[in-house]
């Protein structure tokens, strides 16, 4: 791997130890600009802790989390480099959305005009003069993104942004994040909504119990051996199972008499059957979905720690 680009997120041997609990355990991965990267893991996997270390809100026990090669606190004008939405945005209840954003502009030296631009970006212009206490959860999420986008940052970090959104809101969020990545920004989104990630993300980083389980493009992760699933019918199930055992594939008998095989693709199963002179009546390769891969990858690692 070459040196990092300035807008690349680089997590390098990052560890956070809380007394007896190692929330993040020697974690290394990179997040590239111009793509949406899904940060996935079961509850308690360490996603939020990692994002907080990136943003300088939690001090790592060891290792580093940087933008290019600079820590958040070492960035000049961080509001123009990195935008973050860590939890449903909070604002003073009696303040309007626009005034909330204008106050952030004032505090960070941005022109007031950015408030209205950011409101327009997230479709909140009609609610600009409404008070925060009257905002729905979806509107609060939008306001949080508007705040993160005030400085027009090249890197955007969002922790569970789809929480509380209705299907239309989720589609809106997906389109916005894809468009922002399309402009060359780095977009890192944590979520446990796997179906949504499959639609949204280009790359995924999968975490369980503080450790990296897998990283790659969504296509690669889905296409990985564990995702492949093959459905077979044969009058010689015992012989086929014995032949597949040598490939370390898992064979499960289905209620309808078919065998479901994971850990080998259709070509490997066909070849094993041919070599062992096993007659096949049906051979169908099926692609797993991200949910399935995720469950396989994190199986047994997601327990209470
Ligand atoms: N300040 C803290 N002190 C002690 N333990 C903590 C602290 N913050 C987080 N933890 C623990 O670290 C582990 C990882 O938590 P974290 O919130 O990073 O996970 P997560 O992947 O974001 O999970 P979730 O999806 O549930 O938010 C959890 O077991 C959590 O209880």
For residue range 124-174, what is the model confidence (pLDDT) as tens digits?
999 999 998 888 888 888 999 999 999 999 999 999 888 778 888 889 999
**Does residue 51's CB lie within 6 angstroms of at least one atom of ligand 1?**
no
Which SS3 state, helix, strand or coil, does residue 74 take? helix
Strands (E), the chain: 9-18, 21-31, 36-40, 62-67, 82-85, 155-159, 186-191, 203-208, 211-217, 228-233, 250-253, 259-262, 282-287
For residue range 229-285, what is the model confidence (pLDDT) as tens digits?
789 999 999 999 999 888 878 788 888 889 988 778 889 999 999 999 999 999 998
pLDDT for res 246:
85
- Domain layout of the chain by residue ranges: 9-217, 224-298
**Does residue 14's CB lie within 6 angstroms of at least one atom of ligand 1?**
no
Distance CA 218, CA 198 (A): 7
Q: What is the 3-state secondary structure (H, E, C) of 180-208?
A: HHHCCCEEEEEECCHHHHHHHCCEEEEEE
**Does residue 58's CB lie within 6 angstroms of at least one atom of ligand 1?**
no
CATH class of 224-298: alpha beta
Atom of ligand 1 lying closest to residue 49 CA? 18
**Does residue 41's CB lie within 6 angstroms of at least one atom of ligand 1?**
yes
Which SS3 state, helix, strand or coil, does residue 88 take? coil
**Does residue 42's CB lie within 6 angstroms of at least one atom of ligand 1?**
no
Distance CA 213, CA 224 (A): 13
In this structure, of 184-188, 189-193, 271-275, the range with the lowest mean pLDDT score is 189-193
For residue range 57-115, what is the model confidence (pLDDT) as tens digits?
999 999 999 999 999 999 999 999 999 998 756 778 889 999 999 999 999 999 999 99
**Does residue 48's CB lie within 6 angstroms of at least one atom of ligand 1?**
yes
CATH code for the structural domain at 9-217: 3.40.50.300
Pocket test for ligand 1, best of 16, 23, 45, 192 (most atoms within 8 A of CB): 23
For the cut 80, the answer to whether the pLDDT of residue 194 exceeds it is no
Distance CA 102, CA 71 (A): 27
How far does residue 48's CA lie from ligand 1's centre (Å)? 7
ipTM of this complex: 0.95
Residue identifier of the C-alpha nearest atom 2 of ligand 1? 18
Full-model pTM: 0.80
pLDDT for res 222:
72
Distance CA 287, CA 281 (A): 20
Distance CA 202, CA 18 (A): 32
Q: Which two tokens stand for residue 162?
A: 């789809």
CA-closest candidate to residue 47, choices 34, 35, 32, 37: 37
The answer to whether 38 and 201 are in contact (CB under 8 A) is yes
For the cut 50, the answer to whether the pLDDT of residue 292 exceeds it is yes
Nearest-5° Cα angle at 201, 200 to 203: 170
């Amino acid at each position: 791997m070459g040196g990092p680009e300035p807008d690349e997120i680089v997590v390098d041997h990052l560890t956070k130890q809380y007394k007896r609990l190692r929330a993040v355990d020697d974690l290394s991965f990179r997040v590239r600009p111009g793509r949406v990267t899904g940060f996935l893991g079961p509850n308690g996997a360490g996603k939020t802790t990692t994002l907080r270390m990136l943003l300088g809100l939690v001090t790592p026990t060891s290792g580093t989390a940087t933008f290019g090669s600079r820590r958040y606190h070492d960035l000049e004008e961080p509001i123009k480099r990195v935008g973050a939405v860590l939890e449903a945005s909070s604002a003073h209840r009696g303040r309007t959305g626009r005034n909330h954003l204008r106050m952030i502009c004032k505090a960070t030296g941005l022109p007031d005009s950015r408030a209205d631009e950011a409101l327009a970006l997230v479709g909140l212009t009609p609610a600009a003069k409404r008070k925060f206490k009257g905002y729905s959860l979806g509107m609060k999420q939008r306001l949080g993104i508007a705040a993160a986008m005030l400085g027009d940052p090249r890197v955007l970090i969002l922790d569970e942004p789809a929480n509380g959104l209705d299907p239309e809101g989720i589609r809106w969020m997906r389109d916005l994040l894809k468009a922002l990545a399309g402009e060359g920004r780095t977009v890192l989104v944590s979520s446990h909504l796997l179906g949504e990630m499959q639609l949204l993300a280009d790359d995924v980083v999968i975490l369980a119990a503080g450790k990296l389980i897998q990283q790659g493009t969504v296509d690669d992760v889905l296409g990985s051996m564990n995702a492949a699933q093959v459905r077979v019918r044969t009058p010689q199930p015992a012989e086929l199972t014995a032949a597949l055992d040598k490939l370390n594939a898992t064979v499960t008998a289905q209620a309808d008499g078919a065998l479901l095989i994971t850990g080998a693709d259709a070509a490997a199963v066909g070849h094993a059957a041919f070599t062992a002179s096993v007659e096949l009546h049906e051979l169908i390769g099926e692609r797993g979905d991200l949910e399935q891969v995720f469950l396989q990858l994190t199986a047994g690692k997601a327990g209470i720690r």
